[in-house]
A and B are shown apart, each in its own frame.
Chain A
C-alpha cells in the first residue's frame, strides 16, 4: 500500500507547517522578526505507464500515462521580508531600519551576523552592543559623562559630552543588503548569518541608494500577521486530519483484504 506512506509524507509536511506557524505566533512580539511560511512541493511521480506509449501497430499513442505521485515534501521556509511596523520607545539607543538593510554585528566567535533588531545597549566600556552583548559593527564607543546621544537618519551617532553644546561624532552605523536575503540563515537571538544562497553582503551607509534609513527612538515590530497565522493553523490542522483519514482508509482496505477467505 503506497497510500500509507503517501499520507505519512502529508502528515509530516503539515507537522512542519504547524511548527513554522507556531514559531511565527511565538515571535509575534519579537523585535525585527520576519514571518516565515513553509513551502511545499509534490514528490516525484512513479510513471506506471508512459505518456506517448504505442497503443497499436498503426502508431496510435496513449494521450495520457498513469502517474502515481509519491506525496509531498517541505521545499523550504520562505521568510517574508516586508517592513514591520514601528514602535516608539523613546529610548535613545533604540534604532529601527526604515527600508532595506540589516545592522551588522560581530559575533564572539569572530564571525559576522546581521539583524533588524536595533535594541542596542552600552557595555561597561561604553561600547554599543546588542542585547546579547555582541559588538555592533563598526564599533562605536560612547565616552563617559555623555549627556545625550543623537543618531540621525544616515546612522551618524553623535554624543553631547558634559556641558559642551557641540556634539562629538562617534561614528556611523552601517547597513548590509543581500541579493537574496531569503537565503540568510536564522541563528536565533534575532540574528541572521550569510550563506552561499544569500550571496555576499553589500555594506553601505543608511540613506545610500537602495538602503533604508535609521530611525532613532523606534523599534521595528515583527511583521507577523496573527489573523493570517491562526487561519493557516486551522487549515494545517484540517489537512493533517485528512491525511490521517487516508491512512485509516488504507488500513481498513488492507483489513478487508485480510478477511477474504
Chain B
C-alpha cells in the first residue's frame, strides 16, 4: 500500500490540532493569568523494507508557555498579580489542589478569599484565608502578607512548581498535578506579588495570527500533496491500461 497519501494526511491532522490550540489561545487573549499552549510535533518512523524509512507527523504533546504576562493596573485591592515564576495555590470546589496565576480575587459571604469561580486561595501552609468584616485599608505585601489597620491577617501562598508541564489543565486558569505524582512544589524563591494589578494573558496576538496563517498554508500543502499523489496514481493506471 502506498503510504504517501497517509503521510500527507498526518500533516493535515497535525495542522488541525495546531489550529484548535491556536484558536484557544486567541479566545483567551484577554483572560487574566492565562498561559498560552503550544503543540509539540514529532516524527513517527515507520521502517520500510528496502527503502528509506517513512516518517509520519504525530502530535506528541502540548506544552504550556509559562512566560510572564504583562501587569495591568486595576486599582482594585483584591486584584493581585505575580511577577516571577511562582504560582498561586487553589482548592477547587471539588476539593482538588490546583495551581494558577489568576489573581482576580473576591471574598465569599463568610470572608474567605477566593477566585471568581469559587476556588479558595490557599496560604503557604495550604489553609484557606479568612478576612474579618469591616476592613477599610487592605494591604498585600510583595511577600503575600495581608494586613490592615487591625494588623496581620494572613499570607497568600506562592509556590514554585517545577513539574508544571506535566500538570493537567483544568480550565479556569488552573493546573492540577496528575494523580499519584510526587509533590515537589516549594515556597516560591523569587516571586513578587503586586497588589492592585492583574497579570494579562501571555498570548501574543500577532504571533497567534501568524500561526493561523502558517497552519492554513501547511493544511493546504497537505491536501495538495494528497491530490498530486492521486493524480500520479491515476496517470500510472491510464498508461498501464494503454500498454495492455
Contacts and interface: CB of A to CB of B under 8 A. Distances in A.
Interface of A: 1-3, 6-7, 9-10, 13-14, 17, 37, 39-45, 47-52, 62-72, 75-76, 78, 80-82, 99-100, 177-180, 182-183, 196-200, 202, 209-211, 235-236, 238-239, 242-243, 245-246, 249-250, 252-253, 256-257, 259-261
Contacts of A52: 166, 178, 180-181
A41 to B, nearest CB: 4
Interface band, chain B: 35 or more
Contacts of A6: 20, 23-24, 27
Contacts of A238: 205
B223 interface: yes
Given A3-B16, A75-B116, A249-B212, 14 more contacts: A2-B20, A10-B23, A37-B74, A40-B30, A44-B170, A48-B59, A63-B166, A70-B24, A82-B76, A242-B26, A242-B205, A245-B26, A246-B23, A259-B223
B17 A66 contact: yes
B111 interface: yes
B109 A72 contact: no
List the 4 closest pairs (A to B, CB-CB), nearest first: A10-B27, A210-B134, A69-B24, A64-B61
A2 to B, nearest CB: 5
A179 B173 contact: no
B133 A100 contact: no
A196 B109 CA distance: 7
Contact of A65 (B107, B168, B226): B168
Contacts of B102: 41
Nearest to B102: A41
| Secondary structure type dominating chain A contacts | mixed
Contacts of B76: 78, 80-82
A252 B223 CA distance: 12
Contacts of B220: 253, 256
A45 B109 contact: no
A137 to B, nearest CB: 20
A243 B26 contact: yes
B205 A82 contact: no
30 contacts: A3-B20, A7-B27, A10-B29, A41-B116, A43-B171, A44-B170, A45-B169, A51-B178, A64-B61, A64-B63, A65-B166, A69-B21, A70-B24, A71-B28, A72-B27, A78-B106, A177-B133, A179-B107, A179-B111, A180-B109, A199-B109, A199-B110, A211-B134, A239-B26, A242-B208, A243-B23, A249-B215, A253-B15, A260-B227, A261-B227
